[in-house]
Amino acid sequence: MEAAHAQRLGERLLHTGLVRVQDLAEFLQSTFEGDGDVEVRRAAALEDASPRDVSFVMRGRAMKSAVSSNAGCLIVPREFDNAGQRTVIRATNPRAAMARTIARLHPQLTPIPGVDPSAVISLGATIGPEVYIGPFVSIGVGARIGAGTSIGAGSVIGDSVVIGERCVIHPRVTIYDDVILGHRVILHAGAVIGADGFGYVFENGVYEKFPQIGRVEIGDRVEIGANACVDRAALGVTSIGEGTKIDNMVHIGHNCQIGRHVVVAAQTGFSGGVVVEDYAVVGGQVGVGDKARIESRAVVGSGSGILTSKIVRAGQTVWGTPARPLKEYLAQLAVLSRLAKKRKSSEEA
């Protein structure tokens, strides 16, 4: 398998050549200005780009920095002032266009399908076609692995786990029994899916474990970051909807219901029974109490705290601890600032 991987790497380097700006614009279904025959090799940050690089500009300070950038081509907003006659590609969403450009110029190395000799696959497991199973992977009884899925070194797949097609399971991921993953799910290194929820009963002066016999279900095209944890339900299902993106070191407690296309930044923790509806955005280091609800398209600012059973209304932006509407939060900060200035003035008098 090592020789096959080396060959695949060589093929990737061979096919990652120069691309003309006019061809890149056609690939992006966008228009270009300037020299369409300029060739670019790689994507780079605006300040680091060379004449063989492509970079992108969104707005603000970057628009001014674009003038001095050495990039051979810039992907810019429709309204970009090209008075300097740069070679540019105009896009409605330059960041999205840049993402597609990176995928075009820097194709990922996909592993050659096959099973490493050190992997342990239990009897009754079903392995689909074109699957890659890396070194020291363990796959439990009755597990089903969909076509084209890749499972990285040292990962543990429990009994009766279902993994859909074209999933990427990075090294040292642990998936407990009875977890269901949809198609094209990405789990980064160290993620733990389906561990017991934090459920205990206090009786006679001691904590007794409340058995966690539920499961976890994860929808299509979900991505979960490194060292994130998704706990199984005590009873029922902990679920994550289609297209949701979970950052590194996020904890999703038992019986949480995370909707579709939700974005959650790093180090956020959801207590048991939390509901997050579709298209909500949750910043980093947010703490969410039991059975709280974040409704559709709400935004929770970084570092906020949402109390138990609190409801963040649809489309609302909240901040602070306890979380409250952004306008109210900013007004309270202004009052505190004025009080601090008055106190300083009185002390100096």
Q: What's the whole-number average pLDDT of the chain?
A: 91
Considering the domain boundaries, does residue 196 fall inside one?
Answer: yes
Q: For residue 293, give the H/E element and its range.
A: strand 293-294
Tell me the CATH number at 99: 3.40.1390.10
Considering the domain boundaries, does residue 333 fall inside one?
Answer: no
For the segment 172-194, the average pLDDT, to the nearest whole number, is: 98
Determine whether 106 is an active site residue.
no
pLDDT of 72 strictly over 80: yes
- % residues pLDDT > 70 (the chain): 94
pLDDT of 13 strictly over 70: no
Q: For residue 285, give the H/E element and its range.
A: none
pLDDT of 168 strictly over 60: yes
Considering the domain boundaries, does residue 349 fall inside one?
Answer: no
Q: Does 136 share its domain with 230? A: yes
Cα separation, 17 vs 140, whole angstroms: 42
Contacts of 279 (CB under 8 A, 6+ apart): 259, 260, 261, 262, 296, 297
Domain boundary among 60, 86, 105: 105
Q: Does 204 share its domain with 297? A: yes
Identify which of 34-48, 82-96, 253-267 has the greatest average pLDDT: 253-267
Q: Does 98 share its domain with 170? A: no
Spell out the long-range contacts of 295-304 with Cβ–Cβ below 8 A and sequence spacing 24 or more: 296/259, 301/326, 301/329, 302/265
317-330, pLDDT tens digit by residue?
999 999 999 989 88
Predicted pLDDT at 3 = 54
Predicted pLDDT at 2 = 54
Model confidence at 11, pLDDT cuts 50, 70, 90, reads very low
Predicted pLDDT at 12 = 46
Range in 77-91, 137-151, 184-198 the model is least confident about: 77-91
Q: Does 178 share its domain with 316? A: yes
Considering the domain boundaries, does residue 129 fall inside one?
Answer: yes
Q: Does 88 share its domain with 121? A: no
Q: Does 123 share its domain with 233? A: yes
Predicted pLDDT at 242 = 98
Q: Does 79 share its domain with 190? A: no
Tell me the CATH number at 246: 2.160.10.10
Q: Strand, coil or helix: what is 331?
A: helix
185-206, pLDDT tens digit by residue?
999 999 999 999 999 999 999 9
Q: Does 210 share its domain with 148? A: yes
Considering the domain boundaries, does residue 346 fall inside one?
Answer: no
Domain boundary among 52, 82, 105: 105
Considering the domain boundaries, does residue 335 fall inside one?
Answer: no
- Domain residues for the domain of 42 are 17-105
Considering the domain boundaries, does residue 181 fall inside one?
Answer: yes
Q: Which of 170, 183, 254, 261 is catalytic?
A: 254
Q: Provide the pairing of β-strand 206-209 with 200-203.
A: antiparallel
pLDDT of 4 strictly over 70: no
Q: Does 130 share its domain with 101? A: no
Q: Does 228 share its domain with 90? A: no
Domain boundary among 105, 138, 172: 105
Q: Does 130 share its domain with 235? A: yes
Q: Does 294 share its domain with 155? A: yes
How many domains is the chain built from? 2
Which of 303, 296, 279, 297 has its CA nearest to residue 288?
Answer: 303
Longest dimension (CA), the chain: 82
> Under a CB-based contact definition with an 8 Å cutoff, are residues 61 and 47 in contact?
no
Considering the domain boundaries, does residue 168 fall inside one?
Answer: yes
Range in 13-22, 46-55, 62-71, 134-143 the model is least confident about: 13-22
